[in-house]
Structure 1
Amino acid sequence: MAHPHSHHDDDEDTGPSKSQLKRDSQALQELGQELAALGKERLAKVPLDEDLRDAVRDYQRFPSHEAKRRQLQYIGKLMRHVDPAPIRAALDAFKGVSAEENARMHRLEALRTRLLDDEKTLHDIATAHPGADLQHLRVLRRNALKERELGKPPRAFRELFRVLRELEGAPDNDPPSGEDEA
């Protein structure tokens, strides 16, 4: 004869333990803390529902340690109702991409330096990015050189970097998005 208690014990064995639930909850809260540490641009790239996004933004605004602690608990509670996998994937991408991103930035800086040193670099850019606005790049190059010569703030120098970054970031097989940016 089966005892009612023995059936209840079997259910506990198949479900997560109280300790496991607590660890899961803590992991979600830590994931929420990682979200809260993101800047606005990166946070916008993470797939979050509106309540969770608002809760993270509120956390970022709070000055008080205690308010942040309570908000973090609330974020953890909201996290229990979402699939953490896409969020974790986005955060991992930010972490993993950082080395890649640094290398990319160095490549772009080197390209900008080559362009400033030699206008023929425009040919390489045109080959790599057929939709590039070469006239705009030529003007930025000329202005950046003039800024450097006159000791002025490097506006065109920075703009040149931004345009090169957009060119590299735009998929080569999708010219319309590149044309919108330029």
Structure 2
Amino acid sequence: MKNIVYTILGSALLLIGCTEDYDLDDRGLSVEELPRYVAFSAPGASSSIAPVDTTEDGGSEELNVEVPGGTVTDITVNYTFSGTAVFGVDFTVDGATSAGGSVVILKPDGTPNLDGLAPNADIVVVLLTDDVVDGDKTLQVTLASATSNDGEIAVGRGGTDSLKTAVVNIEDIDE
């Protein structure tokens, strides 16, 4: 019985001692809250993603965009295309134009997210075989902006260029 009482008292003291006013500055440390952001998903704590290597006849590639901090509203993410791959000749993305497009990350529906993934959506790049010997191509998809009902949201990890651009290398299969 004593152990239970000591455990409860110890836990209470621990909780009372934890306040938001704990000053880290005098120890040479500072805590900064990162802005809410959208970025391409990367494994673990990686700050970059490896290029996707595929071929003209590779079918499609999914580029996953996520909101690591979560969201309570839908978020529209605008993206642009660049590189040597030509929209409509080497690739397409449903609903996009040669300049780029947008994808909507839906707010959670209230059910628990058991897989541990942040709210996310895919940009699906459909690869096209052009039957022309024209060499390998590169497609860069860059997150340009993001908005929700609450206003603008930073793009790239923590609002930086990290995880802001995904690269798809497309190998020419025609001989």
TM-score w.r.t. the length of structure 2 is 0.18
More helix by share: 1
More strand by share: 2
Higher RCO (CA < 8 A, seq sep 6+): 2
Larger Rg: 1
